[in-house]
Structure 1
Amino acid sequence: MAQKAKKDRAKSNAATLTNLHIGALIVNAVFLLFYIVFRSRSIVAWLLLSTPAFLCQFMIERAGRPTFDAQTGALRSSGEDLAAAGLTEYMFDVVWVTWGVEILVVLFGNKLWFLWAIVPAYGAYKGYGLLGSARQMMGGMGGAGSGADGGAAAQPAPNRRQRRAA
């Protein structure tokens, strides 16, 4: 049964990566074609702001591409789950926001490159939330015996029998 799950994940990852690469090809080809024909959009901004999306696509490809044995064709590794939450999800968000901004720049002009600032702003927001959670966890562990009550909070909670007797 576990082998079926690996095969399903490999098939899902392969389809996701194919769609990702086709989407990247289409969006970037449209931008470059528009640039070649009209030369009214900034190629420097495109190179600078598309680089994170290209790096994310590369990382997603490396992590999610299933590998097969060259001689037998058997599945060697199904790759990481590309539908997982967390960093993988954020990398997909970077790619999609970049594509959206590229299309908007083609349609409405170079000033819309500033919309790409959503990506680092969202990353900073998530990082700040993660930092706050880490501080709470560390505060709960490190501050147990250092309160104003002289370490009374460090005593273990009474068990059920002691609570009943009290």
Structure 2
Amino acid sequence: MAKKAAKTLAARNTAILNRTRVLTIGFHLFYLTLRCLVFRTSLTHNSLLIWILLSLPSLFIQFQFERIGRPTFGTAPGELLRSGDDLEAQGLTEYMWDVLYWTYGCVALAAVLGDVAWWLWGVIPIYSVYLAYTTFMGARGGMQSLAGGTDSAGTPQAGSKRQQKMEKRGGQKQLYR
């Protein structure tokens, strides 16, 4: 069983990418079908332009997932050349899935409710700013504690438990600047 983990990852990535492709085609066909057949009067050039512009980021994300996650196989049967990156990874990949699924929801709501539902797509930049802020503040707090900053109560932190015990006994006190 050589490369079992790589083969498992390749099979999982293939299943995820195939499911994502079907979902994307399904949601966009749902939008076009409802807008062209059921709500014909609401289909204008502006609504098509909005649909295309706000769907481009999700289509770009899906293209990136295909590029980095799709496994490549050799000419021999079962020969795996590259399993692809893990599409269930934390961090940026997770955020890209959030954008993709949120866009699916916006496309479905815009198909049913009209162009007003596209305003929900504005949540994505707000969420991005929130994530960037919390990441920055977390990293900033981590750097302060490493540099001998203060704890949540505003008192200086000792470098180790040994130093804290020595300070309690009244022996060698550390001076903090």
Q: TM-score, normalised by structure 2?
A: 0.76
What residue in structure 2 maps to residue 40 of structure 1? Answer: 42
Runs of at least 5 residues in structure 1 that lack an aligned partner in the other structure: 145-152
CA–CA distance in 1 between the matches of 2:158 and 2:101? 51
- Give the aligned residue type for 2:124: V
Please point out which of 94, 100, 105 is paired with 1:95: 100
Q: Out of 39, 53, 59, which is 1:54 matched to?
A: 59
Q: Which amino acid aligns with 1:54?
A: L
Give the aligned residue type for 1:18.
N
How far apart are the structure 2 equivalents of 1:137 and 1:96? 32
Uncovered stretches (5+) of structure 2, i.e. residues with no partner? 150-155, 170-177
The answer as to 2:81 corresponding to 1:79 is no
Quick check: 1:60–1:91 contact (8 Å CA) kept in 2? no
Q: Is the 8 A contact 1:64 1:81 kept in 2?
A: yes
Alpha carbons 2:148, 2:157 under 8 Å: kept: no
Q: 1:131 aligns with which of 136, 151, 159?
A: 136
1:119 alignment counterpart = 124
Q: Show CA shifts across 1:63-92 (max 9, x none).
A: 1111112x2241011111112222111111
- Residues 129 and 12 (structure 1), Cα distance of their counterparts in 2 relative to 1, 3 Å cut: same
Q: What is the RMSD of the two structures over their aligned residues, measured on CA atoms?
A: 2.4
SS at match of 1:72: coil
Return the offset for 1:8: 0.9
Identity across the alignment (%): 36
C-alpha displacement at 1:155, in angstroms? 8.0
Aligned-partner Cα distance in 1 for 2:2–2:135: 33
Distance of 1:125 and 1:155 partners within structure 2: 32
1:159 deviates by 4.3
Other structure's SS at 2:84 match: coil
Aligned length: 154
The answer for the alignment partner of 1:5 in structure 2 is: 5
TM-score of the superposed pair, with normalisation by structure 1 = 0.81
